[in-house]
Amino acid sequence: MKKLFLLDCGDFSIKDVFPLYGPMCGNQKVCIEFKDLLPNDFKTDFIINITENGINRSYQVKDVEKNGNNLTFHMPAFPNAQIDRAEVNIVFEYRQEIMDQASYTYTRALDSM
């Protein structure tokens, strides 16, 4: 995971994001592990966007589940299922500032598993 910059969020920071690959058809569960407790405003001020590299297309994740210091969500299907592989960015925003991002790889070979 590539760190962009640290916001002044106190102890609220991302420790790990996994897995960073999945099928083109989507529905891969992704976990975000935080170093410390989530702030009370995470439901309104923490946003996850999936952006395609080189294309001005973005998808905002709506269904996020909380379990302790972890959040989970399911990746959407990749819009162009005709290609074998595609890379997107999972961008994490807090209070309208990018706090971190991770690269995620869609792979057609995983669709049949």
Domain boundaries in the chain? Answer: 14-110
CATH number, domain 14-110: 2.60.40.10
Question: Judging by beta carbons within 10 Å of its beta carbon (0-12, 13-18, 19+), is residue 78 exposed, middle or buried?
Answer: buried
Is residue 3 scored above 70 in pLDDT?
no
pLDDT tens per residue, range 69-95: 899 999 999 988 789 999 999 999 998
Please tell me the predicted confidence (pLDDT) of residue 81: 72
pLDDT tens per residue, range 7-54: 445 557 899 999 999 999 999 999 999 988 888 888 889 999 999 877
As given in the structure block, the two tokens for residue 70 are 């972890």
Cis link prior to 19 (omega < 30° from 0)?
A: yes
Q: Between these two residues, 3 and 42, which has the higher pLDDT value?
A: 42
Q: What is the pTM of this model?
A: 0.85
Q: How far is CA 17 from CA 53, 56, 75, 84, 112, in A?
A: 19, 23, 13, 23, 24
